[in-house]
Amino acid sequence: MEQKDLDVVAIGHALVDLRFTVSKFASPDEEADIEEQSTGPGGSAINVALITSRLGGKAAVITKIGLDNFGRQIVEELVRSKVDISGLKVGFGSTGFSVLMIDKEGNIVLYGYKGCAEKLDPDEIDEKVIARGKFVHIASLRPDTSLRAAVRAKELDAMVSWDPGRRLSMAGLKALRGLIKFVDIVELNSRECANLTGIRDPVACAEEIQRVGPSTVIVKMGPRGLYALSDDFTGYVPAFKVSVVRDSTGSGDTFAAAMLLRLSRGDKLRDALVYAQAVAALKVTMLGANALPPIEEIEKFYQEHRKEVEAGIADKPPAE
């Protein structure tokens, strides 16, 4: 069996984000000013791998890109950030991209072209890379490839984390049951939870998903915090407060990377959740799906505010 030398293996989309900060969202036949523009690698798999590495962990990515400028840009950033790319595939066609419009409150309008990212076939999953991972995180990826990755990860003694993303969650619990039963940790936001189960209450929603098989279900509620259901810890964890919200893109991926890294290093779930909330809070203060302040700044913020957040931990989320 391969040595478990990777904290997280991220499987999913590799995209380039074209980000535009706008004065407001334009209505049809209306013009709004673009105040800032930037470009950078994105997509759930890329975000999780880059954040894991930037937090001091060891990460690999299994994804697919095209042989073009966007693909080269992604590879260059992965190599620069010391992410293992031995599971990366190159296909015919274009690398996927997202066009993101971000308003002054950090709200997002997103247009996505998946390109080669969605053409990662089940037989292109690199089992040697999976075998090296303590955690395998599958995000926003087509069901057949996700299922192959989850089954092989379990056979190779890795913990499986899964985030369905916006689109896949709309398929519903019944359609995705075959995949979910091979997952250890389900992470999704409150809207995706409602899409998946038809239940809006995070507690009841988490319970419905857990019945399928996952030991842990985490429902993220943005600035309201999160609800976790697990044998290790069950309860509500509030969010860390920040004064500025610039860009919430990738905050869920940032949370996943931070939590899984802490779990891979031996933290209890409760402590890993608190830390991940801190990192995700700092991410939304910066422009870019995988942008983070220096690790020293993250640690300082975490230590200064963790007691305040821990004091707010409760059995259930507060009423809206």
Does residue 320 form part of some domain? no
pLDDT above 70 for 111: yes
Q: What pLDDT does 256 receive?
A: 98
- DSSP percent split of the chain into helix, strand, coil, nearest 5: 40, 25, 35
pLDDT of residue 130: 97
In this prediction, residues 91-107 reach a mean pLDDT of: 90
What is the CATH classification number for the domain harbouring 27?
3.40.1190.20
Q: What is the predicted pLDDT for the residue at 211?
A: 97
**234: phi then psi, degrees, rounded to nearest 5:** -130, 125
Residue 315 falls within a domain, yes or no? Answer: no
Q: Is residue 305 part of a domain?
A: yes
Query: What percentage of the chain reaches a pLDDT higher than 70?
Result: 99
pLDDT at 134 over 70: yes
pLDDT at 320 over 80: no
- Asked if residue 254 is part of any domain, the answer here is yes
Residue 1 reports pLDDT greater than 70: no
Q: Which domain holds residue 180?
A: 6-310
In a domain, 319, yes or no: no
Half-sphere exposure of 71 (CA within 13 A, CB side): 19
Quote the mean pLDDT of the chain: 95
Residue 317 lies in a domain: no
Rounded to two decimals, the pTM is 0.95
Confidence of residue 104 (pLDDT cuts 50, 70, 90): confident
What tens digit of pLDDT does each residue of 241-295 get?
999 888 888 999 999 999 999 999 999 999 999 999 999 999 999 989 999 999 9
Q: What is the pLDDT of residue 273?
A: 98
Give the lowest-confidence range in 59-68, 75-84, 121-130, 242-251.
242-251
Q: How many CA atoms lie within 13 A of 196 on its CB side?
A: 31
Number of domains in the chain: 1
| Per-residue model confidence (pLDDT) at position 229 | 98
Among residues 147, 215, 211, which one has the least CA distance to residue 187?
A: 215
CA distances from 202 to 206, 251, 320 (A): 6, 19, 11
Asked, for residue 316, whether it belongs to a domain, the answer is no
**Residue 157 DSSP code:** T
Mean pLDDT of 173-178: 96
The reported pLDDT for the residue numbered 247 is: 86
